[in-house]
Every structure is written in C-alpha cells, then in structure tokens.
Amino acid sequence: MGDTSRYPEHRRKLSPRWWTANRHYAMYMVREWTSLFVAVYSLIFIYGLSLWATGSRANFLNFLKNPAIVGFSLVALVFIMYHAVTWFYLLGAISPIKIGRSKTKPWQALVLNLILLVVVSYLAIWLLVLR
Amino acid sequence: MKVETHKVARLHAIVWGIFSLGGMIAAFLLPVMIYMTAIAYPFSLWPFNGTKDPSFLITGHRLGALFIFVTIAGSLYHGIFRFQSALTEVGLLKYRRALEAIGYFIIFVGIIVLAYYLGTWYLNGTIS
C-alpha cells in the first residue's frame, strides 16, 4: 500500500502454522476466517440479485429457497454471529468507556451490544417489512 | 518525505476506517438479513409467514434498497479485506500485493454490480 522501499515494514517471520501453537491464537485465526463467510454470503446475494435482474423475481426467490443456499447461509449465520460476538468484545477491549473512576469491561460492551443487536434487528424487520 | 508519510498514513486511516465501519455493519445488520432471507423466507417464519417475501425488502421502499446496499457492500468490503489479510498470516505474505489486488477487484466489481442493479430498479420504478 505505501512506499515500502522508503518505509520498509519489519514483520516477524512466522511459520504458516504459528496459530496452532495455543488456543488463543487458534481462536484468533477462527475469528479471522469467519470473514470468508461474510464475503461469500455477500457475493451469493449479489448473484441472487443478478438472477432477478437478468431473469425474473421468481428466479431470485427460488434461488433463496435452494437447499444448498439455505444450508450455506445457516452455517454462515453461525460464523457471522461468532464474528459479531468477538467484534463486540473487541470493541469493549480497545475502547473502554470511563465512568467516574472505573472503566467498562469488555464483557459489558459485549452484553450491551448484543442487546443493541436484538433491538436493531427488530427495528430493521419492523421498518422494512412490517410497516 | 513528511508529506508522503502523511499521505500513506491518511490512506491507511481511510482504508482501516472503512474496514471498521464494514465490521460494524456485518455485526449489526448482516445477522438479521440472513435471518430474513435464509431462515424466515424458506421456512415461512415471521415476518415472511404471510404474503410478503424478501423481494419486498428491495421493492417495498427506498429504505429497504438502502439497507441492502449498505449491508452487502459494507460486509463485502469487510469480509474480503479481512480474509486477504488473514491469508498473509498463514504463509502467503509474499503474495500480499496480488492478494490485495484480487481482493480490491472483487470488492470494486461487487459494489459496482450491486449499485447498478439497485440504481436501475430505482430509475425504472421497481423500487417505489
């Protein structure tokens, strides 16, 4: 991205399997790999829209009901929830809020954001479908 | 030299800023979208246990189309960016430039195609 000849990056050399050294590293790598499901679901949805754009709305709806797509999406949802939970925890760890003399803990940010996730999800359904 | 350092730092800040925003979008909006399109609709559960289907998310009103665009574009950026970064940590660091090029190409094409479909439907009145 930058000018690496003038501003060289010094990266520690690691073996490709460094993340298997302990559970903490392994969970970090699992978290990173959940992004694959985030990306693939997005691409699949765009492909579904292309079926609608180049064919008919029924093609899009049949695509959403395809067992392979439903199966993948269910697995993706599990990994995306893992992504969400770890993301919320990370937010609390990197930017704690100072209240008086104490700072908020990562698990407090996790609980608060999970509640917010439920509220946002309900609001999205209410605004976009039920209203 | 100082100006270039600032340029690189600014670009880094923008790229990582969009990445973080995509992370928030994927965490807050993608689960409900998957629930609606991959669980509620195929299994006829609330809110798609009546006459509506997921196409209503796009055609129902502009807010729905905006929701689709923001959720899919933000998630795509975040997912690809993070995945190509993860690949460099498992022995593919020497291919970082190629991985970045492929990643940004997929993000660019995906977002353009998505915007094109939604824009076309907006202009021809499919999105009310």
Residue B24 lies in a domain: yes
* pLDDT tens per residue, range B17-73: 888 899 999 999 999 999 999 999 999 999 999 889 999 999 988 999 999 999 999
Residue B109 has pLDDT above 60, yes or no: yes
Q: Do B28 and A116 touch (CB under 8 A)?
A: yes
Q: Residue B76 in contact with residue B111, Cβ under 8 Å?
A: yes
Q: Residue B79 in contact with residue B26, Cβ under 8 Å?
A: yes
> Tell me, what's the pLDDT at A5?
65
Closest approach of A75 to chain B, Cα-based (Å) = 10
Query: Which residues of chain A neighbour B113 with C-beta distances below 8 Å?
Result: 46, 50
CA distance A2 to B13: 12
Say which CATH architecture domain A30-130 belongs to. Answer: Up-down Bundle (1.20)
Residue B128 lies in a domain: no
> Tell me, what's the pLDDT at A115?
97
* pLDDT tens per residue, range A32-87: 999 999 999 999 999 999 999 999 999 999 999 999 999 999 999 999 999 899 98
Q: What is the DSSP string of B14-55?
A: HHHHHHHHHHHHHHHTHHHHHIIIIIITTTT-TTSSSS--TH
Residue owning tokens 């302990």: A22
> Tell me, what's the pLDDT at A97?
87
Percentage of chain B with pLDDT > 70?
97
* pLDDT tens per residue, range A80-110: 999 899 989 988 998 888 888 899 999 999 9
CATH number assigned to the domain comprising residue B69: 1.20.1300.10
> Tell me, what's the pLDDT at A99?
86
Across the interface, of B27, B83, B91, the residue whose CB is closest to A36 is B83
Across the interface, of A18, A42, A127, the residue whose CB is closest to B79 is A42
What ipTM describes this predicted complex?
0.92
B90 versus B67: the higher-pLDDT residue is B67
Phi first, then psi, for residue A103 (nearest 5°) are: -115, 150
Phi first, then psi, for residue A73 (nearest 5°) are: -65, -35
Closest approach of A101 to chain B, Cα-based (Å) = 28
Instruction: Give the length of chain A.
Output: 131
> Model confidence at B1, in pLDDT bands (50, 70, 90)?
low
Question: In chain B, positions 66-105, which contact chain A (CB-CB < 8 Å)?
Answer: 67, 72-73, 75-76, 78-83, 85-86, 89-91, 93, 100
Bridge partners (DSSP) listed for residue A87: none
> Considering only alpha carbons, which residue of chain A is nearest residue B1?
A6
Query: Domain locations in chain A?
Result: 30-130
pTM value?
0.90
Q: Do B26 and A84 touch (CB under 8 A)?
A: yes
| DSSP annotation of A55 | T
> Tell me, what's the pLDDT at A15?
85
Structural domain tally of chain B? 1
A13 versus B56: the higher-pLDDT residue is B56
What residues make up the domain containing B114?
Answer: 2-123
> Tell me, what's the pLDDT at A95?
86
> Model confidence at B9, in pLDDT bands (50, 70, 90)?
confident
Residue B63 lies in a domain: yes
